[in-house]
Amino acid sequence: MALVNEHFLKLPGSYLFSDIAKKINTFKITHPKQDLIRLGIGDVTRPLPPACIAAMHKAVDEMGSEKTFRGYGPEQGYDFLIEAIIKNDFAPRGVHLSAGEIFINDGAKSDTGNIGELLRWDNSMGITDPVYPVYVDSNIMCGRAGTLEDDGHWSNVTYLPCTEENGFVPEIPDRRIDLIYLCYPNNPTGTTLTKAELKKWVDYALDNDTLLVFDAAYEAFIREDDVPHSIYEIKGAKKCAIEIRSFSKTAGFTGVRCGYTVVPKELTAATLTGDRVALNKLWNRRQCTKFNGTSYITQRAAEAIYTPEGKQQVKANIDYYMENARTMKEGLEKAGLKVYGGVNAPYIWLKTPDGISSWRFFEQMLYEANVVGTPGVGFGPSGEGYIRLTAFGNHSDTAEAMRRIRNWLK
C-alpha cells in the first residue's frame, strides 16, 4: 500500500490566489455586467520586449534547421546566458561570480520551493512576516514547518514581524536559526532594506552558521541608491547566502518562465558529524537529477534582455509599472489611507481603515468598488489589516481603480 506524505495534508485547503480566484468567479456569476479591475495577483500586462521576441524567432528558426538544431541543453543553463548575467547583473556592482555558480531555472518560484531539499527536514527556519506564501508552504510539505498552532503560526517557524511599528524592518533574532528567507524588495509590502540593514543579517548569518535564502526577484525596480540589488554586495555574503532572481516581472517572462539561482562555491552546510559540504555541488547534483534545463529558445530570449536595445525596452516596461505605483500611492494617500511600498517595488501595501480585517476589506472593495486586491493576512499573521495592490495593470485601469476607491470611501 502506498502511503501519502501526510505533511501535504497540513497545508491550507488551497493556495492563497486560488481562494481569491474562487471569490472573483462567484462575483462574476452574480454580477455579470460589472467590470472588474484586477490589482491582485502580480501578473504583468506589458508585452515582451521586442528584442526578446526577435531572439525567440531566431532561435525557433535555428531549431528548424538540421545544422543549428539543439536537443538537450545543460541543466545548469547555456554559457551565453550565464556570461551575460555575470557581466551585467553582478560585475557592475563589484560582485565577482564564476559561471559554475549560476543555475538557470524556469522561474524563481521553482527554485524557491525546491532549495530546501538541500537541508535536513529538522532544520529550524525563519521568515519575515508577512511574506511570499511559497516559503512556508514548501517547508510544510517536507515537514520542516512543524504543526499549525491556534494563532495561525507554525510551531517550527520563527516569525520576524515586519510591521508599521518597526518600519517594516525585521529585528535580528535573539537566537540562532538554521535557515532564514529574506525577500527584498519585499513581496508583499514593497519595502526594502538599506545596505547597512542587510549587513546586519549577513553578520548574523556568519556568526550563527545560518543559511540565508535571498529572494531578489524585484531588484530591477529599485530606485534608491542605498538599497542593495544583490546580497553579495555585502562582504561575506557568499559564505552564507543563496540568491534567487527572476525575469518574470522585469522582462514580462511570467508566461515564458526563466530566472536563475546563485549558489556560491564558498557556501557550505554541516553534516551531523560536523563535516562541511559545499552546497553548490549538491544543488548541481539535484538539478542534474530532477531538472532538464530551461529551453534554448527561452534562454536566447533572456540573453536578449542584456543587449543595448533589450535594456532600454526592459527599463521602459519597469518605468511604466512604477508610474502606476506612483499613481496608486498618491491617489490612496489623497483618499486619507496609509500606504507603504511603491517606491522601490511594484507593490502597494495598504492599511485597511478602522481596523477592518483583510478579507472583509477585500470583499467590500470587490463588491462596492469592483477592484480586486490581495488580503494581507494571506501573506502571514502580521499581514492582517492590510491589502496588497500591484502596479502591473495598464495606466487607464490603474487611474480608474483609484477613482473608484476614492469615491467608494467617501
Measure the N-to-C terminal CA separation of the chain; round to a whole number of Å.
61
Cα–Cα distance list, 208 to 129, 212, 242, 322 (Å) = 21, 11, 16, 38
- Three-class DSSP category at 157: strand
C-alpha grid cell, residue 36: 472588474
pLDDT of res. 232: 98
CA dihedral 56→259→291→118, nearest 10 degrees, is 170
pLDDT digits (tens, 9 = 90+) for 142-163: 999 999 998 889 999 999 999 9
In this predicted structure, which of 20-29, 233-242, 249-258 has the lowest mean pLDDT?
A: 20-29
pLDDT of res. 14: 67
Q: How confident is the model at residue 80 (pLDDT cuts 50, 70, 90)?
A: very high
Is the CB of residue 162 less than 8 Å from the CB of residue 130? yes
Residue 15 pLDDT exceeds 90: no
Is the CB of residue 245 less than 8 Å from the CB of residue 271? no
Mean pLDDT over each residue of the chain, to the nearest integer: 96
pLDDT of res. 396: 97
Residue 13 pLDDT exceeds 80: no
Cα–Cα distance list, 307 to 49, 312, 314, 321 (Å) = 11, 9, 10, 21
For 259, other C-beta atoms within 10 Å of its C-beta total: 24
User: Helix/strand/coil (H, E, C) string of 25-75?
Assistant: HHHHHHCCCCCCEECCCCCCCCCCCHHHHHHHHHHHHHHCCCCCCCCCCCC
C-alpha grid cell, residue 11: 497545508
User: Helix/strand/coil (H, E, C) string of 177-234?
Assistant: CCEEEEECCCCCCCCCCCHHHHHHHHHHHHHHCCEEEEECCCHHHCCCCCCCCCHHHC
In this prediction, residues 384-406 reach a mean pLDDT of 97
pLDDT digits (tens, 9 = 90+) for 220-232: 999 999 999 999 9
Is the CB of residue 228 less than 8 Å from the CB of residue 220? no
In this prediction, residues 218-244 reach a mean pLDDT of 98
pLDDT of res. 150: 85
**pTM of this prediction?**
0.96
pLDDT of res. 399: 97
Q: How confident is the model at residue 16 (pLDDT cuts 50, 70, 90)?
A: confident
Residue 19 pLDDT exceeds 90: no
For 134, other C-beta atoms within 10 Å of its C-beta total: 17
CA 79, 82, 84, 86 torsion-angle sign = negative
From CA 100, how far away is CA 264, in angstroms rounded?
8
Is the CB of residue 410 less than 8 Å from the CB of residue 336? no
For 376, other C-beta atoms within 10 Å of its C-beta total: 27
Percentage of residues in the chain having pLDDT higher than 70: 99
Residue 178 pLDDT exceeds 90: yes
pLDDT of res. 3: 97
pLDDT digits (tens, 9 = 90+) for 264-297: 999 999 999 999 999 999 999 999 999 999 999 9
- Three-class DSSP category at 159: strand
In this predicted structure, which of 18-22, 32-36, 128-132 has the lowest mean pLDDT?
A: 18-22
- Domains along the chain with CATH numbers: 15-44+319-409 (3.90.1150.10), 53-306 (3.40.640.10)
Place of cell 536563475: 260
